[in-house]
């Protein structure tokens, strides 16, 4: 009985929540849609006389912001991702009046602009209807229930007749019947309201999302760019390995060869000096071996291959000069390329924190949920980190892009900094867990 009451309460709360969400969407669709659509039409119509060239970029930017807010609502409330396909502005966009005219031209020529305007029209009609119905049905159901609380009396006194659906409420008996119908309507709302909102979000996705051909072309461009970036990362990694070998182990091995040649010449003439050179050669060989091990660890750490991502990151945290707290929730192993990319991305983020943040404490969280590996590296340092030319974060972004991964950096001046990395991937549960 208690479980049934709890379920019923959750259903009522769920119906109320979707009603509130629907009301918010309806108000946004009606108010925002009407205002922005009228302003857009007027502004575009004024382009030939020059005034619209200055107002259209502002108005269409507001339309895009409004559409992006609704995209976020669709993702958070409806679980539907509505992609955007706005053409990027060129990096060498000019300033002044010429730049404004160029921006206006690019916005008007962008097909996504006209998709947004078409969406505004249907959003303030069909979209408004599908969004407002959950709220209207819920309020009407509550009205029927409240009639039993005596609400029917003032309504009957004021109007003479008080109808609720097909019931003429003129007494306690008919009020009880109306309350029963209202309760039934609320019960229906608990299942119907989410579906109505889902239809609303489906309509938004249908109108706002780019056509399949456009989406495929954008995907091809994205894959081409990520492939080039992956090749650049590989080439840079090969150059680093070559440089480390040339400047480190190779130089020490050459020095060892020269020392052995000197020892061979001195072994009979000056045995004592030869022993000193042998000791130095032994130290040089040990240093060369250490450098080779470090180089191998930089290519692919043995602990990563043997124990997996979790233990590899824990071992990495122990070598950091500041306190690092690690929280791992990855119930299995990942494909080797993904595991390697995730490890080196986390390593670069930790190295950046150690070099630039002046942080006292760093936290690393790694988890795998719903086909997505998420890595968060946060610190209590001075902040100000950004993805830009020459930044280690740029290298992380390029490394992740090869796997359709994403990098998000939040680092206001004064801190704290949070670097979030996401890689879509699958677990391999039959391998040893971390």
pLDDT at 2: 45
In CATH terms, is domain 306-428 a member of 3.30.565.10?
yes
Backbone angles phi, psi at 63, to 5 degrees: -60, -45
- Sheet holding 361-369: strands in order across? 323-329, 361-369, 372-379, 417-424, 406-410
Q: Which of these, 326, 330, 294, lies nearest to 313 by C-alpha position?
A: 326
Given this model, what pLDDT does residue 136 score?
82
Whole-angstrom Cα distance, residue 199 to residue 180?
28
Residues pairing with 422 in the sheet: 374, 406
- Tokens of residue 89, six digits: 């502005």
Walk along the chain (434 residues) and give the pLDDT tens digit of each residue.
444 444 444 444 556 778 888 888 888 888 888 899 999 999 998 888 888 888 988 999 999 999 988 888 888 888 888 887 787 777 666 777 878 888 888 888 888 889 899 999 988 888 888 888 888 888 777 777 776 666 555 555 555 566 667 776 666 767 677 777 777 777 777 777 888 888 888 888 888 887 776 556 666 666 666 566 656 666 666 676 666 666 666 666 776 777 777 777 777 777 777 777 777 777 777 776 766 666 555 556 677 777 888 888 888 888 888 888 889 888 888 888 888 888 888 888 888 888 887 888 888 999 988 888 899 998 888 887 777 645 667 778 877 877 778 888 888 888 788 888 888 888 876 444 44
pLDDT score at 346: 87
Model pLDDT, residue 89: 78
Q: Are 15 and 189 in contact (CB under 8 A)?
A: yes
Using CA atoms, how far apart are residues 432 and 330, in angstroms rounded to an integer?
11
**Whole-number pLDDT of residue 9:** 45
| Residue in this structure with the two tokens 């461009």, named with its chain if needed | 221
């Amino acid at each position: 009985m208690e479980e049934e009451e709890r379920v019923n309460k959750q259903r009522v709360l769920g119906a109320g929540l979707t009603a509130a969400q629907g009301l918010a969407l309806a108000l946004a669709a009606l108010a925002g849609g009407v205002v922005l659509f009228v302003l857009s039409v007027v502004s575009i119509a004024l382009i030939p006389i020059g005034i619209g060239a200055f107002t259209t970029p502002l108005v269409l930017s507001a339309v895009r912001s409004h559409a992006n807010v609704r995209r976020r609502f669709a993702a958070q409330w409806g679980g539907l991702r509505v992609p955007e396909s706005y053409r990027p502005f060129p990096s060498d966009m000019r300033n002044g009046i010429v730049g404004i005219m160029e921006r206006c031209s690019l916005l008007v020529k962008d097909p996504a602009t006209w998709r947004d305007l078409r969406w505004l029209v249907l959003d303030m009609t069909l979209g408004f209807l599908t969004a407002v119905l959950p709220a209207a049905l819920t309020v009407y159901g509550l009205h029927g229930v409240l009639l039993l609380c005596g609400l029917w009396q003032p309504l009957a006194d004021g109007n003479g007749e008080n109808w609720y659906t097909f019931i003429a409420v003129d007494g306690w008996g008919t009020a009880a019947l109306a309350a029963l119908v209202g309760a039934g309507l609320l019960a229906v709302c608990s299942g119907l309201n989410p579906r109505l909102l889902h239809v609303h979000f489906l309509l938004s996705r249908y109108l706002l999302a780019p056509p399949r051909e456009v989406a495929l072309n954008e995907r091809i461009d994205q894959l081409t760019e990520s492939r080039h970036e992956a090749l650049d990362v590989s080439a840079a990694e090969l150059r680093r390995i070559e440089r480390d070998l040339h400047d480190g182990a190779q130089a020490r091995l050459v020095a060892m060869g020269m020392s052995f040649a000197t020892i061979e010449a001195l072994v009979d003439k000056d045995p004592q000096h030869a022993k000193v050179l042998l000791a130095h050669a032994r130290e040089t060989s040990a240093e060369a071996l250490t450098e080779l091990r470090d180089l191998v660890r930089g290519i692919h750490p043995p602990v990563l291959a043997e124990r997996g991502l979790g233990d590899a990151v824990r071992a990495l945290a122990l070598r950091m000069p500041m306190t690092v707290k690690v929280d791992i929730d990855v119930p299995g192993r990942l494909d080797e390329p993904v595991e390697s990319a995730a490890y080196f991305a986390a390593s670069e983020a930790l190295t950046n924190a150690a070099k630039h943040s002046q942080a006292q404490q760093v936290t690393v969280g790694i988890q795998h949920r719903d086909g997505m590996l998420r890595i968060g590296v946060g610190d209590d340092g001075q902040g100000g980190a950004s993805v830009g030319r020459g930044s280690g974060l740029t290298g992380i972004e390029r490394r992740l892009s090869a796997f359709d991964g994403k990098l998000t950096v939040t680092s206001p001046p004064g801190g704290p900094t949070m670097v979030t990395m996401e890689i879509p991937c699958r677990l391999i549960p039959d391998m040893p867990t971390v």
